[in-house]
Amino acid sequence: MNRRAFLRQICIASAMAIPCNALAAEFPEEEPQEQQEQYDLHVKDYISKMSHFDLAHPDDIILKDEELELLKNCTAKITRVMRTVGYGNFNLISVDQAFLFGRQYSRIGAFSTKEKEFLEKIFYYDADALGFYGDKPITAFTQTISRKDVIKIRHSGHYIFKGHPFEVWKEIKSALSSDVILTSGVRGVVKQFHLFLMKASSNGGNLSLASRSLAPPGYSFHGISDFDVGQKKYGEFNFTSRFTETRVFNKLNELGYLTLRYPRGNLLGVRYEPWHVKVSS
């Protein structure tokens, strides 16, 4: 099915209570009854998947055999890279640097040609096929992040890009003082790989399931601007819908800082993320 047509049908569905005038206006023509029924099935399927984002579904893309083994091996090696370079540094390193560390440190182990090719294949994989419909702000597998372009946030282990993202963070910090914490800032391609592959690996190689909770590598706006916030001493609940019960969420929402990248009922195939602050358009 055409991606834009699919999004249009989801937008039209009454179950998705979000603005959709622009998309509807772009596709004013009526669909034949048979095609309309097909779209309706896709819409119901989409809504079901987003309501149960952490469950497997019949048409999910799941890696098998050699590719599943490659997934596990790459996940393990990237985890060892993180432990070797340190949590904060890991947010910034590039794929080429990860490969270099693998060659330099026996406790990591060199990435094989097949493992490198597997990671590159995952990076350039069409995320639409996984059910992820967001934009891809990072198009280079070997993207690098310069330390001169970021600022480390004290006591967080995270970085924020200089310029507008940092100004937004300062305004948020000023409004909420010690109540608000930075739970995730700048993420290079390797960090996004780690999160995505860990989720897929822990769910039997299910790439579609992983994409409903985490943007695939290259598709995360953490790589160019966005960041996540949380309530101090709220732990893992900062990454659940319970975050909406916190003072931090309510205050930031009241002040207009939470222009969410993935709002409730979004059309991008991603679960609701009330903690994710959208910085760039």
Q: What is the DSSP letter of 17?
A: -
Predicted local confidence at residue 270, as pLDDT: 81
Residue 17 scores a pLDDT above 50: no
Helix, strand or coil, per DSSP, at residue 65: helix
CA 227, 233, 235: angle at the middle one, nearest 5? 65
Indicate the burial class of 22 (C-beta count within 10 angstroms; 0-12, 13-18, 19 or more).
exposed
pLDDT at res. 40: 61
The answer to whether the beta carbons of residues 228 and 184 sit under 8 Å apart is yes
Beta-sheet strand order (sheet of 276-277): 180-184, 227-231, 276-277
Percent of all residues in the chain with a pLDDT value above 90, rounded to a whole number: 67
**pLDDT single digits (tens) 44-82:** 777 778 888 899 999 999 999 999 999 999 999 999 999
CA distance readout (Å), 162 to 92, 125, 200, 226: 14, 30, 32, 11
Give the DSSP per-residue string, 121-142. HHHHS-GGGGT-----S---TT
Structure token digits, residue 270: 């991603």
Closest CA to 71 of 192, 218, 190, 202: 202
Interval 208-226 mean pLDDT = 95
Beta 158-161 vs 276-277: how paired, if at all?
unpaired
Helices then strands, each counted (H, E), the chain: 11, 5
- Give Cα separations from 32 to 6, 29, 245 (angstroms): 15, 10, 45
In angstroms, the CA 270 to CA 108 distance is 32
Higher-confidence residue: 253 or 235? 235
Query: Which of 20-34, 177-191, 254-268 is least confident?
Result: 20-34
User: Is pLDDT above 90 for 152?
Assistant: yes
How far apart (Å, rounded) are the C-alpha atoms in residues 274 and 250?
Answer: 10
Residues linked to residue 153 through DSSP beta bridges, in sequence order: 158
Interval 168-193 mean pLDDT: 95
